[in-house]
């Protein structure tokens, strides 16, 4: 009888532990995700304006730069919300946890073509232009550091002369810890749905996503450990500041 009581007590402890572990599984196996917009200095609810991936509990990074998933993340789905923001204002993206891979950040805006809205456009076509980036810091080969380390959010300014209309804002953190061969770099991507008001007649040079990278760029295919890079070239076009 004593043996049975001890066994049952042990089973209770085991089951309690299993329940706790199960409750942590979604976060334990998830990489960091860009889940919220930052408007007027405050984070919006998760997935209100940001398109979620097909599985919101996981974010296996995109590594194929030619994949359709490279636009807004794997299985990304439109949401009902569209955030109204002014040209020239500062907005941002918030993460669900701090960035823990060495890497860099790019932010693109893409204008929805005629007949589409921010809530319906799939991001296809040559409509994207870069509006912000956070690169690596080098000093000739002695060290390389990444200002994006441990960030929980990233803010940027919408160019003042951008034309009014419906847009997707796309952010990517390019993790470079395993990028010495392709496809080794990991892209953590999200898109937010915007309606930009005001602005002007700016005409930025545009690219397609996918299509903006080949995967062979020196800022994507790189060994950041040895030999330490003397310089770092940020992938993608130059930032258009409007």
Closest CA to 106 of 156, 50, 165: 156
How confident is the model over 211-238, as pLDDT tens digits? 999 999 999 999 999 999 999 999 999 9
The pLDDT of residue 6 is above 60: no
pTM reported for the whole predicted model = 0.88
Tokens of 181: 């061969």
How many angstroms separate the Cα of 170 from the Cα of each of 32, 51, 81, 126? 16, 10, 16, 14
Q: At a CB cut-off of 8 Å and minimum separation 6, what does 72 contact?
A: 51, 123, 168, 170, 189, 190, 191
Helix (H) or strand (E) holding 126: strand 126-134
How confident is the model over 188-200, as pLDDT tens digits? 999 999 999 999 9
pLDDT at 218: 98
Cα 172 to chain center, whole Å? 4
How confident is the model over 12-71, as pLDDT tens digits? 444 344 333 333 333 434 589 999 999 999 999 999 999 999 988 877 899 999 999 999
The Cα–Cα gap between 181 and 162 comes to: 37
Positive or negative, the CA dihedral 166, 77, 238, 194 is positive
Per DSSP, the chain holds a count of helices (H) and strands (E) of 1, 12
The Cα–Cα gap between 95 and 31 comes to: 10
- Of all residues in the chain, what percent carry a pLDDT higher than 90? 85
pLDDT at 59: 78
């Amino acid at each position: 009888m004593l043996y049975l009581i001890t066994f049952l007590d042990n089973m209770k402890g085991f089951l309690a532990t299993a329940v706790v572990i199960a409750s942590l599984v979604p976060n334990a196996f998830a990489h960091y995700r860009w889940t919220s917009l930052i408007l007027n200095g405050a984070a919006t609810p998760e997935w209100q304006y940001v398109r979620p991936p097909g599985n919101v509990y996981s974010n296996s990074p995109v590594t194929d730069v030619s994949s359709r998933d490279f636009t807004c993340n794997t299985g990304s789905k439109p949401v009902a919300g569209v955030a109204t923001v002014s040209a020239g204002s500062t907005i941002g993206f918030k993460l669900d946890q701090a960035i823990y891979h060495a890497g860099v950040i790019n932010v693109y805006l893409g204008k929805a073509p005629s007949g589409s809205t921010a809530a319906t456009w799939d991001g296809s076509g040559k409509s994207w232009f870069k509006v912000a980036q956070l690169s690596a810091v080098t000093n000739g080969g002695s060290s390389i550091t990444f200002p994006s380390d441990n960030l929980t959010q990233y803010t940027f300014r919408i160019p003042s002369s951008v034309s009014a209309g419906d847009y997707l804002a796309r952010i990517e953190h390019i993790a470079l810890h395993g990028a010495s061969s392709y496809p080794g770099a990991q892209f953590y991507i999200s898109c937010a749905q915007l309606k930009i008001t005001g602005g002007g007649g700016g005409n930025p040079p545009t690219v397609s996503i996918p299509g903006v990278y080949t995967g062979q760029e020196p800022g994507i295919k790189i060994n950041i450990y040895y030999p330490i890079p003397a310089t770092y070239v940020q992938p993608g076009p130059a930032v258009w500041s409007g």
